[in-house]
Structure 1
Amino acid sequence: MRVFVVAGEPSGDRLGGALMEGLRSLVPDVQFDGVGGPLMQAQGLESRFPMAELSVMGLVEVLPKFFHLKRRIAETAQAVLDTQPDVLITIDSPDFSLRVAKIVKAQSDIRTVHYVAPSVWAWRPGRADKMAKVIDHVLALLPFEPPYMERAGMECDFVGHPVASEPVATEDDVREFRAAYGLGDAPILLALPGSRGGEIERLAPVFGEALKLYLQDRPDVRVVVPAVAHMVETVAQRVQSWPGNPVVVDPRNMPSDEAVARKRAAFAAAELALAASGTVSLELAAQATPMVIAYNLNWLTTLIAKRMVDLDTVTLVNLVSETRTVPECLLDDCQPENIATALKQVSDAPDVQREAMVTTMDRLGRGGEAPGLRAAKAVLSRMNA
C-alpha cells in the first residue's frame, strides 16, 4: 500500500505521525511519501520539502508568500500524480491541502482523505460543499463534526482527538522539569504565544504587557514559554523584555518523544496558562491546567473574520464541553488590561474549569482506542468498502 500524506504545521505533523504509526501497525509494508515534520519523518517519511514553509496563517500573512506557496501546491500535486498512490491524505492546512486535492482530482481518480474537518460550523459554511468536490473522506477530531461533512456528500468518521490519548505528566515528571530549568518551587505561569511567526510577532508584545500588569503583585511567579523548534530563536528574542524571568523550553536538541514529554511536564507544572487560540487549549485541558485564551489577527483578516464568524466562543474546551468556562480575549478585546483581568479571575478560582476539562477529554475519547489507530482503521475500512 502506498500513501501520499501532506501536513503543513506542527499540529498536523502530530496527527500525521500517529496516523502513520496506526497504518504501519495494520499494514506493515505500507510506503509513505509526501510532506511532513519530525514526527512524520520518525515514521519513515522523507519530506519532499520543509514543512515549515507551509506554516502560514491569516489572509494578509499569506500574501507575501503567495507565489511560493502556489509553486509548492503545483509541485506537490504533480508528485501525487506522478507516484499514483493508493490514497492521498491531507492533514489540516485546508488552504494548501484542498488546492492540492483539487488538482489531483481534476486529473485522476486517486482517493482523497482529509484529516481534520474545517471549522464550517464556525465560519465559511459553504466550504463543506466545495470541499466535497475534491475530498472523498474526512477524519474528524470533534464529535459534532460528521453531520456537517456528510450533509455535503462526504464520508466522515469521528476518530477522536490525539490529545485525549496522551499520558498525564506525573509528579516525578514535574519535579524533573523544575530541576532541569532551575525553577525550584516557584509558581509557574505558562505563556504560549503561538507556533507561527506571524502570530508570535503579533501576540508576544501584548502577552508581555499583560504579564507585567498581572505579575505586579506576584514577583515570585516564573514564566515558562514552550516553543516549537523552528521558532525558538524568534520566541527567545520576543520574550527578553517580559517579566517573570522567562524560561524558553527549547526542543531542538531532544529526541521527539523527549520533547513532547518535556512540554507535557511544563503544562502540568503550571498553575495557570495564557495561550493563543488553537489546539493548545486541549493540550492544557489534558493536563488540567487552567487557562486564558487570547488571540488577534492582522487588521484586514480581523475585519473579514468579524463578518464571517458566527460563534460566541472559539475555544475548543468551551465548544466540546458546551460550557463557557475558559475566558477569551479575542480580536479587539486582545488588550493587556483585559488579559491581565482574565488571568486574575482564573487564578482566583482555578477549579471552575476542571469539570469542563474532564468532560472535554471524555468526549474526545480519553480511555478509548488511540485516535491514530482509529483514523488508520477508518481510512482502510472506507477504502475496502
Structure 2
Amino acid sequence: MSATTHKIWLLAGETSGDELGAKLIKALRHFNPDLKFYGVGGTKMQEQGMEILFPMQDLAVMGLVEVLPKIHMLSNRLNQAAQDIQLKQPDVVVTIDSPGFSLRLLKKIADLHIPRVHYVAPQVWAWHESRVKKFPGLWEKLLCLLPFEKSFFAKHGLDSAFVGHPILETDVHHGNGQQFRKEHQVPETAPVLLLMPGSRRSELPKLMPVFKQTLVLLKRQLHDVVAVIPTSPLAKEHVEHTVQDWPIKPIIIHDQQDKYNAYAAANAALTKSGTTTLELALAKVPMIVTYRVNPITAMIARRMIKVPYVCMLNLLANKEVVPELLQEDCNPAHLTATLLGLLTDPQKAKAQQDAFTEIMHQLSGPNNELPSRVAAKEILGMING
C-alpha cells in the first residue's frame, strides 16, 4: 500500500470502543505510517496519536431513561463532530460501536460524500430486526465482530465483512496469578472473586450497592474470599469513592497487566454483560453475568429483545453456559447463592471453561489474521480504491 498521507476521522464513545480504536489505528499505521488521525476517543486512541475533539466520556450514556437529561449536550456534540468532519475533510470516517450516537453522525454527514465505515455491527439481531430498514445509506462498509452477523445483514441486502473479534489480540490470557497474589498479599488458598460493574456512569450506581451486599453475604460463607475490582479510567474515581464505606474492602486495580494477573488468579467473576465476558472467557475465568437498569428501561427492553440470552457467550454457544441474573434476579441473595455454587463446585467451573475454548474459536478472523489488520485492510481499500 502506498505511503501517501491520508486523514482518517474516528469516533469511539466508550471504553471498549477506545480500545478497539487504538488497535485499529496501530494496524492502519502498520500498512501506512503516514496516516493522520482525528476525532473522538479516549486515552488509548490519544496515545496512538489521534487528535481528540472532545472527551469520549460525554457519550458514555446507556439506557432509554438515563439518556434523557443528556439530550441537549449530546445534540451539541453531534453538531460539533459533524462540523469538524466538514472542516477536516478526511478520506474516510470510521465510527466505532456506540450506535445511538454513531449512526446519527453517519446520517448527518451523508451530504459530505466522504466514505463511511461503521465498525461493530449494531445488534439489531437482538432487538427490533425492523430497524435494519434504517441502515441503507448510512455507511459504505460495515465491519462485523461476530461470525453470524455477515449472513444476517446479507439477508437484508446489506454488504458487510466479518473481521474477527479484537479480544483475541489481547494478552488477557497471559496473566500471572502468583504474581498478583504476591503483590497484593493474597494467600495462595484464598478464593479470588472479580467484581466487574462496568465503566458507564449509568451502570455503576445500580450495580455497586448490589455487589457490596453480595460480598458481605458471601464472606459469611467463604471467610477467606478476596474481592478484586478492575477499573477503567472512566470508572476509577467513582469506584474508589463508592467502596470507602464498604465493610469489606475489595482490592481495586487500574493497571492493565495487573488486571490480567488478577484474571489468572481469579476463581470466579461477577460481571455485567458486555465485552468483559469475552475477556473472562479467554482467560478461562468462570463467571456469572448480571445487570440492572431503570425499571422503565427494563420493561421496554423485555418487549424488544428477540434473542434468548443477553450474554454473548451464551448466544455463541446457543445454550446457557453462563448463568444470567438480570434485573429482579440481580439481588444479593440470588447472586451469593449462585456464586457459592461456582466457587465450591469444581465441575461447574470446569463445564464453563471447556465451553469457553469452543466459543473463542468461533471469533477468529479470516485466515487467522489479526482482526484489527483485517479491519484496517477493509478501510484502506476504501481510500486506495
Listed one character per residue, the Cα deviations across residues 264-323 of structure 1 (whole Å, up to 9, x for unaligned) are: 111121100000111100000010000000101111111110110122211111112223
Q: What CA distance in whole angstroms lies between the structure 1 residues aligned with 2:292 and 2:136?
A: 30
Equivalent-residue separation in structure 2 for 1:370 and 1:361 (angstroms): 14
- Superposed CA deviations along residues 297-352 of structure 1, whole A, max 9, x for unmatched, are 11111111011012221111111222311001012222222212221232222111
CA deviation after TM superposition for structure 1 residue 180, in Å: 2.5
Alignment of 1:84-123 (within 5 A): 84-105=89-110, 107-123=111-127
Give the Cα separation in 1 of the matches to 2:333 and 2:273: 18
Letter matched to residue 79 of structure 1: D
Question: Given residue 265 of structure 1, which amino acid in structure 2 is its aligned partner?
Answer: N
Residue 182 of structure 1, aligned match among 185, 189, 200:
185
Partners in 2 of 1:240 and 1:119 — Cα distance? Answer: 37
The count of corresponding residues between Structure 1 and Structure 2 is: 375
Partners of 2:197 and 2:99 in 1: how far apart?
Answer: 22
Normalization by structure 1: what TM-score? Answer: 0.93
Offset of 1:198 from its aligned partner? Answer: 1.5
Aligned partner of 2:268 among 256, 268, 272: 272
Residues 187, 271 of structure 1: 8 Å contact kept: yes
Give the letter for the 2:51 counterpart: E
Structure 2 counterpart SS, 1:375: helix
CA distance in 1, matches of 2:308, 2:218: 25
Q: Percent identity?
A: 41
Residue aligned with 2:214, SS: helix
The CA distance in 1 between the partners of 2:286 and 2:244, in whole Å, is: 25
Kindly indicate whether residue 141 of structure 2 is the aligned counterpart of residue 137 of structure 1: yes
Q: Which amino acid in the other structure matches residue 21 of structure 1?
A: K
Deviation at 1:8, TM superposition (A): 0.4
> 1:194-273 counterparts in 2 under 5 A?
194-242=198-246, 244-249=248-253, 251=254, 259-273=255-269
CA-CA distance at 1:221 after TM superposition: 0.8
Which amino acid in the other structure matches residue 381 of structure 1?
G
1:66 and 2:71 matched:
yes
Cα offsets for 1:235-257 (capped at 9, x unmatched): 123234446531111x3xxxxxx
Note the alpha carbon deviations across 1:196-241, whole angstroms, 9 max, x for none: 1121100111122222222311110110001111321211232344
Greater alpha carbon shift after TM alignment, 3-12 vs 21-30: 21-30
Aligned CA-pair RMSD: 1.7
Q: 1:337 to 1:272 in 2, by over 3 A?
A: same
What is the CA–CA distance in structure 1 between the aligned matches of 2:260 and 2:192, rounded to whole Å?
Answer: 14
Which of these residues, 319, 335, 340, is aligned with residue 344 of structure 1?
340
Which piece of structure 1 moves more, 193-202 or 150-159? 150-159
Greater shift in the superposed pair: 141-150 or 179-188: 179-188
Q: CA deviation at 1:174?
A: 2.2
Match of 2:296 among 274, 294, 300: 300
Within 5 Å, give how 1:139-158 maps onto structure 2: 139-158=143-162
Question: 1:51, CA displacement in angstroms?
Answer: 0.9
> How far apart, CA to CA, are the structure 2 residues paired with 1:25 and 1:70?
35
One-letter amino acid of the counterpart of residue 128, structure 1: V
Taking a change above 3 Å as real, the CA distance of residues 85 and 151 of structure 1, as seen in their structure-2 partners, is farther
Amino acid at match of 1:144: F
Gaps of 5+ in 1: 252-258
Which residue in the other structure is 2:3 paired with? none
